[in-house]
Amino acid sequence: MSDFGFLNTHRTWEDWAGMLVGALIVVSPWFPIQDHPAIAGDSMVILNAVAVGLIVFGISQLEYVALQRWQEVATILIGLWLIASPYTLGYSAEGFLRIYHTSLGAVVVLLGVLLLWQDWDLNDQDMLKHGQ
């Protein structure tokens, strides 16, 4: 039986993936395939996407530098907000943007759950060694 250590250890590429997803969230209102181009003029939707993307990007950078468990919990919560935001902010009928935010939110949640699972048993000293 082989050991699947690849998923058991928090690796720096996962932090870089979080930064990439954060950047994709920031630019998602301007993705070229949109059902209704008027969504680009809705400032609340744009503000939400930019804020959520910057938070995901920033938390991923913090995980790369100084790993702590609250970052993974915050990542999960912000991913859940991104999934709920099309329905909460009223742009669920906007087709592709709803699909983008739901999909990217699911990726953020899955990444947060994976990172939390990987770091669950680490003590504070082991978490400080991350990225070195």
Better-predicted residue by pLDDT, 35 or 109: 109
- 7 lies in a domain? no
For residue range 47-96, list pLDDT tens digits in order: 999 999 999 999 988 887 777 778 889 999 999 999 999 999 888 777 78
Domain ranges, residue 59? 12-128
Q: Is residue 104 part of a domain?
A: yes
SS (H, E, C) 6-71: CCCCCCHHHHHHHHHHHHHHHHHHHCCCCCCHHHHHCHHHHHHHHHHHHHHHHHHHHHHHCCCHHH
10 Å CB burial of residue 15 (0-12, 13-18, 19+) is buried
- 74 against 132, higher pLDDT: 74
Domain membership of residue 56 (yes or no) is yes
Number of domains making up the chain? 1
The pLDDT score that the predictor gives to residue 2 is 43
Report which of residues 12 and 21 the model is more confident about.
Answer: 21
- pTM, 2 dp: 0.80
How high is the pLDDT of residue 4? Answer: 55
Question: Does residue 117 sit within a domain?
Answer: yes
- pLDDT tens figures, 14-49: 888 899 999 999 998 887 765 555 455 578 888 999
